[in-house]
Copies of this chain bind each other. A is one copy, B any other.
Amino acid sequence: MKKIINNPENVVNEMLEGIVKAHPEYVKRVEGFDVLVRAEGPVKGKVALISGGGSGHEPSHAGFVGKGMLDAAVAGEVFTSPTPTQVFEGIKAADSGKGVLMVVKNYTGDIMNFEMAAELADAEGIKVDSIIVNDDVAVEDSTWTTGRRGVAGTIFVHKIAGAAAEKGLSLQEVKRISEKVVKSVRTMGMSLTSCTVPAAGQPGFVLADDEMEVGLGIHGEPGTHRTKIKSALEITKELMDKISADINLKEKDEVAVLINGLGGTPLMELYIANNEADKLLKERGIITHKTIIGNYMTALEMAGYSISLLLLDAELKELLDYKADTPAFKQA
Contact = CB atoms under 8 A, between A and B. Distances in A.
Contacts of A231: 5-6
Interface in A309-332: 325, 330-332
Nearest to A262: B266
Contact of A18 (B19, B192, B264, B278): B278
Contact of A4 (B5, B273, B291, B330): B273
A274 to B, nearest CB: 4
Contacts of A293: 22
Contacts of A6: 231-233, 272, 276
A28 to B, nearest CB: 15
Contacts of A19: 271
Interface in A1-29: 2-6, 11, 14-19, 21-23
Given A14-B275, A23-B291, A291-B23, A58 B2 contact: no
Nearest to A273: B4
B291 A2 contact: no
A46 to B, nearest CB: 19
Interface stretch (A123-131, A147-155, A219-227, A296-304): A296-304
A2 B227 CA distance: 13
A58 B18 CA distance: 24
Contacts of A249: none
Interface residues of A, number: 60
A298 B332 CA distance: 26
B21 A301 contact: no
Contacts of A18: 270-275, 278
A267 B295 contact: yes
A162 interface: no
A282 to B, nearest CB: 9
A300 B267 CA distance: 8
Contacts of A291: 21-23
